[in-house]
């Protein structure tokens, strides 16, 4: 027999306690054990519980809760790594194009009739790449094996953990006399040191890759916006600003 709410008498020990709606009040979450999020220089807050710092580059930034679902978290991790790599290549391409005197931003030069086929061609190209990546995701469910060590994005194999034994670097041995050691185009002590990384060092490389990739994504957006407003590349705008810092700023650019 149940004598009181939440208590069961000895006569009926199998009886379940009666729980009312008033007793189901949510217990406040203990945030003292959660780590401090450090995604903003002068603001410290508690990181979300689903971001425990176990992933590379995890700064505890998820104010909208997009990564609360574990499957979505893995998808976002993969997307961020791949976007970071493409952004770093894209920014490098923009800088090289501007240094060589080529057009950085082509869309303003396209007429309205040319813009539609250009956009459709870009959409089809990206769609083809994403179709291949989607098929790979279905056949290879482990996100870490899909994005690391990087394959084409890591031609030197710098993100591979410690190997057993020493191997000669690939190549024809052009720099062997300078670096010393085994023959190869990047041989010698430097190459073997890069190939002799511990697991901890590899994880640090993954974090550095994401940090640089995030900066590259922001930089690419900034270059895109500046080029659309001025028709000039980042190097050209930097040289103009350094030559006349007072009259070549963001304010003057927006006023034009």
34 is an annotated ligand-binding site residue? no
Measure the CA–CA gap between 1 and 9, rounded to whole angstroms: 5
- In eight-state DSSP terms, residue 239 is H
241 is an annotated ligand-binding site residue? yes
144 is an annotated ligand-binding site residue? no
32 prior amide bond cis, ω within 30: no
CA 238 remoteness from chain centre: 26
CB neighbours of residue 46 within 10 Å: 14
> Residue 38 in contact with residue 59, Cβ under 8 Å?
yes
208 is an annotated ligand-binding site residue? yes
Measure the CA–CA gap between 254 and 256, rounded to whole angstroms: 5
21 is an annotated ligand-binding site residue? no
44 is an annotated ligand-binding site residue? no
> Residue 185 in contact with residue 171, Cβ under 8 Å?
yes
> Burial level of 170, CB count in 10 A (0-12/13-18/19+)?
middle
Which backbone phi and psi does 244 adopt, to 5 degrees? -150, 80
Measure the CA–CA gap between 144 and 141, rounded to whole angstroms: 9
Which single residue is written with the structure tokens 């591979």? 160
80 is an annotated ligand-binding site residue? yes
Mark the binding-site residues, compressed into ranges: 80, 85, 208-209, 212, 214, 241
- For the annotated binding site for chlorophyll a, the residues are 80, 208-209, 212, 214, 241
Residue stretches of the annotated binding site for chlorophyll b: 85
């Amino acid at each position: 027999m149940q004598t009181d709410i939440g208590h069961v008498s000895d006569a009926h020990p199998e009886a379940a306690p009666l729980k009312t709606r008033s007793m189901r009040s949510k217990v406040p979450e203990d945030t003292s054990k959660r780590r401090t999020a450090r995604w903003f220089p002068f603001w410290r807050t508690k990181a979300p519980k689903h971001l425990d710092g176990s992933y590379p580059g995890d700064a505890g930034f998820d104010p909208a809760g997009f990564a609360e679902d574990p499957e979505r978290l893995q998808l976002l991790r993969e997307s961020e790594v791949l976007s970071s790599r493409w952004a770093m290549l894209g920014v490098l391409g923009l800088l090289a194009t501007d240094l060589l005197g080529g057009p950085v931003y082509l869309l303003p030069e396209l007429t309205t009739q040319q813009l539609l086929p250009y956009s459709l061609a870009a959409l089809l190209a990206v769609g083809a790449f994403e179709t291949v990546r989607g098929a790979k995701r279905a056949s290879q469910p482990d996100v870490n094996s899909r994005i690391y060590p990087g394959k084409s994005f890591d031609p030197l194999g710098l993100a591979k953990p410690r190997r057993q034994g020493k191997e000669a670097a690939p190549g024809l041995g052009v720099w062997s006399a300078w670096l010393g050691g085994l023959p190869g185009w990047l041989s010698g002590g430097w190459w073997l040191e890069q190939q002799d990384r511990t697991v901890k060092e590899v994880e640090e490389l993954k974090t550095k890759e994401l940090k640089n990739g995030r900066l590259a994504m922001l930089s690419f957006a900034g270059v895109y916006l500046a080029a659309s407003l001025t028709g000039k590349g980042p190097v050209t705008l930097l040289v103009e600003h350094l030559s006349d810092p007072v009259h070549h700023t963001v304010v003057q650019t927006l006023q034009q």
